[in-house]
Amino acid sequence: MKIRYIDLDDQTINPEHQDLALPPVEYQITHALEHPILRLLSYAVVAVLVGLIAYLFFRLFFGGNEQSGMELIRQSLHDPLFWSAVGVGFLAQVIDGALGMAYGITSSSFLLAAGAPPALASGATHLAEVFTTGISGVAHLKMGNVNKKLFFSLLMPGVIGALVGTYILGNIDGKALKPYISLYLLGMGVYVLSKAFRHIKSKHAIEVKKVIPLAFFGGLMDTTGGGGWGPIVTTSLVSAGQDPRTTIGTVNFAEFFLTVVVAASFFSILDHTVWILVAGLALGGLVAAPFAALVTKHLKAKTLLILVGSLISMVSLFNLYKAWIA
């Protein structure tokens, strides 16, 4: 469960993040701006979140389950899978809270290591992100951090890429796909690691025609790999010279719609186990929020990038080893 400070207008708190093309992570809210054309979308986001909360409450307590809602909760608390998800959610939130990205690839890497199939790992991660990306996206919109032209350039290609990724996960055997997902996550780990040694060189905004394939690829890999939208899309755009504040806000707002589409697609192919993982990820994320601030205070971004990139790479190598000997 990603919990972030939203105001991206103040870039002076952590200049190291700007040098490394990373989102800033500590902000003070100084003003609020609205984009009138996108206002209806913000209302739609709120409506989706309220509707989803009502649906989950109904399914838990009035959905005709063989067990009562409280019994289901007690059963989950005694399930080792739930506590594994809590630990994964905690670690992923600490990383995401400190870097502003890598929640999905961290969650998916460790869920795969815990034995979850690729579809379950990706589905649980995206379901857990629906609420946080929605809240984050609306806040960015109201604070004037969303670039309308960039948003619409990202939206449809990203969603289409996510749907293609969902189709792949739903129609290919998870055991056969798992080594390739682990290989992708290994590549993402190396990519995160490499960012510790790179700086922004280009100062020219990326062309829209280049945004479309980037968004498609980001959506596709985010779904099939369980994460990567932020590391792929945000860092590529910021590294190309896009304004960090509006780029991060725009990519976050677009991520909500991509996440909702992925989560809705997974409803038909996942069983009740996914909700145990989602609950664990959310609980772990809530507990981890203050620790993320502590990590940010005491570790430099470059050091954290090296640690996170190395960690994701090692876990992915472990997953590849397990798949190879299986």
Which residues have CB under 8 Å from 21's CB, separation 6+?
195, 198, 199, 200, 235, 238, 239, 244
Least confident of 65-69, 80-84, 321-325: 65-69
Q: What band does 215 get if pLDDT is binned at 50, 70 and 90?
A: very high
Whole-number pLDDT of residue 155? 93
Average pLDDT estimate for 33-50: 77
pLDDT of residue 159: 93
* Per-residue b or e along 144-183, where b marks 16 or more CB atoms closer than 10 Å to that residue's CB: bbbbeebbbbbbebbbbbbbebbebbeeeebeebbbbbbb
pLDDT: is 285 or 174 the higher one? 285
Write down the pLDDT at residue 21. 57
Gap between the Cα atoms of 152 and 215, Å rounded: 11
pLDDT (mean) for 246-253: 82
pLDDT grade, residue 284 (50/70/90)?
A: confident
Give me the residue spans of the domains in the chain: 28-53+74-325
List, for residues 150-175, the tens digit of each pLDDT value. Answer: 898 999 999 999 999 888 887 877 66
Kindly give, in sequence order, each residue whose CB lies less than 8 Å from that of residue 14, ignoring residues fewer than 6 positions away: 24, 25, 26, 296, 301
Does residue 28 surpass a pLDDT of 60?
A: no
Higher pLDDT, 26 or 203: 203
**Mean pLDDT across the chain, nearest whole number?**
76
Confidence of residue 310 (pLDDT cuts 50, 70, 90): confident
Q: For residue 159, give the nearest of 65, 88, 77, 222 by alpha carbon.
A: 222
Please name the residues in contact with 283: beta carbons below 8 A apart, sequence gap of 6 or more. Answer: 1, 86, 89
Of the candidates 287, 307, 277, the residue with the CA atom closest to the CA atom of residue 114: 277
Q: Which of 187-191, 205-209, 256-260 has the lowest mean pLDDT?
A: 205-209
Q: Identify the pLDDT of residue 161.
A: 93
pLDDT band at 63 (very low <50, low <70, confident <90, very high): low
Look at residues 99, 50, 103 and name the one whose alpha carbon lies nearest to residue 229. 103
Give the mean model confidence (pLDDT) for residues 78-90: 87
The whole-number pLDDT of residue 15 equals 60
**What is the per-residue pLDDT for 30?**
30
